[in-house]
């Protein structure tokens, strides 16, 4: 899990590549978003605004084709994560949802929120404690690199 303290830092680090530019484009569209409605930019990125506490689960969620980026606009919450290789599969990977559900012990726990961006990498799985209401933009961006011209 990568935690960045603000949007400026994200823009400075992830300024190369079309998919990262599309992340900024999604963030710039925040004034036009309604909670829970999914949007997309091309075929490499989807995003939605979430308001309220993130659902607490006992299982960890992992992805393979997309990175999850959470941009916190208001509030704070606790996220827990571990390496997928440290966890056991509870529900096998589903290609249609790009999700797998895993069980095991928490490796790290962190409180995040208020202006931070969190990038969940594909070799890790995460879950939320669901302990506080938040307002955040959830972006799913493809892991593919520059060999796809539209990414």
pLDDT band at 147 (very low <50, low <70, confident <90, very high): very low
Domain boundaries, the chain: 2-142
pLDDT at 111: 96
Segment 84-135, tens digit of pLDDT: 999 999 999 999 999 999 999 999 999 999 999 999 999 999 999 877 899 9
pLDDT at 16: 82
CATH of 2-142, one of 3.40.50.920, 2.60.120.370, 2.40.50.140, 2.60.120.1060: 2.60.120.370
Phi and psi (nearest 5°) for 147?
A: -75, -10
Instruction: Look up the pTM and report it.
Output: 0.90
- CA pair distance 26, 40, nearest whole angstrom: 8
Segment 36-53, tens digit of pLDDT: 899 999 878 999 999 999
- For 54, 89, 146, the CA distances from 70, given in Å and listed in that order, are 11, 24, 23
């Amino acid at each position: 899990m990568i935690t960045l303290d603000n949007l400026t830092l994200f823009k400075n680090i992830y300024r190369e590549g079309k998919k990262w530019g599309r992340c900024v484009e999604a963030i710039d569209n925040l004034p036009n978003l309604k909670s829970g409605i999914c949007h997309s930019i091309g075929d490499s990125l989807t995003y939605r605004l979430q308001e309220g506490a993130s659902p607490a689960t006992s299982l960890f969620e992992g992805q393979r084709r997309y990175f999850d980026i959470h941009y916190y606009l208001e509030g704070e919450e606790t996220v827990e994560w571990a390496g997928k290789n440290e966890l056991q599969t509870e529900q096998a990977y589903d290609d249609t949802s790009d999700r797998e559900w895993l069980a095991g012990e928490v490796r790290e726990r962190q409180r995040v929120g208020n202006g931070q961006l969190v990038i969940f990498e594909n070799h890790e799985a995460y879950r939320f404690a669901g302990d506080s209401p938040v307002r955040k933009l959830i972006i799913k961006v493809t892991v593919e690199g520059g060999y796809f011209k539209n990414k």
